[in-house]
Structure 1
């Protein structure tokens, strides 16, 4: 799956959902800006391509199935706040299927070189 240029930041959550659900780690990573960081659902802050690849790859390996519902998109000064309700079905190491839910508070920025929007910070725990 190739990742198209995202010209509207409100499209990022669905593009990430589609990439993750198709198991395409590279397409999911293409939605991140250079230097991006992510707070994992366990609360750890990770950054850099290796750590992000490991986190997303682990979700894919757990047969992750993400559903994102965009709630708010606030845009200003080449930056966007994306508030998204999510459910992520995954297999646990014990073989159970669980479906945690939450609301994100993600930050995206517009790349001045191509005008595309990419995630700068992912925070699936929102304000928690």
Structure 2
């Protein structure tokens, strides 16, 4: 099985969007470094593969539909800051479809194979 090597960190938000919208939890998780973490939209911090799988799986189960618009990609050495505007259409707790929006500040790192992976996702941006 081959692993996709992402040579441009600016592609990560769109690859994340496409994999999530396809309901492919494994493809989303393949975009993360092994030791990655994220801050959820509720403000909780999760780290590690199983916690990320549960978080992404919950979004897929709620029929999440993500739209990402890349604002900035800043690269220094083997680290990138990705600032992205997002809208997430999702089934709310009462079953109604809701569409929260925000700006995320994510960090990616270049690995030894030259590919980029998310190390930290913060969909709440500066909030």
TM-score under structure 1 normalisation? 0.96
Give the superposition deviation at 1:4.
Answer: 2.6
Distance in 1 between residues matched to 2:123 and 2:92, nearest whole Å: 19
Distance in 2 between residues matched to 1:27 and 1:41, nearest whole Å: 21
Say if 1:111 and 1:117, in contact at 8 Å, map to a contact too. Answer: yes
RMSD: 1.1
Matches within 5 A, 1:1-128: 4-112=4-112, 114-128=113-127
Give the paired residue count. Answer: 126
Say if 1:25 and 1:53, in contact at 8 Å, map to a contact too. Answer: yes
**What runs of 5+ residues in structure 1 fail to find an aligned partner?**
none
Give the superposition deviation at 1:92.
Answer: 1.5
Q: Secondary structure at the match of 2:42?
A: coil
Structure 1 segments (4+ residues) deviating >4 Å: none
TM-score under structure 2 normalisation? 0.96
**What runs of 5+ residues in structure 2 fail to find an aligned partner?**
none
Distance in 2 between residues matched to 1:4 and 1:19, nearest whole Å: 13
Distance in 1 between residues matched to 2:12 and 2:68, nearest whole Å: 10
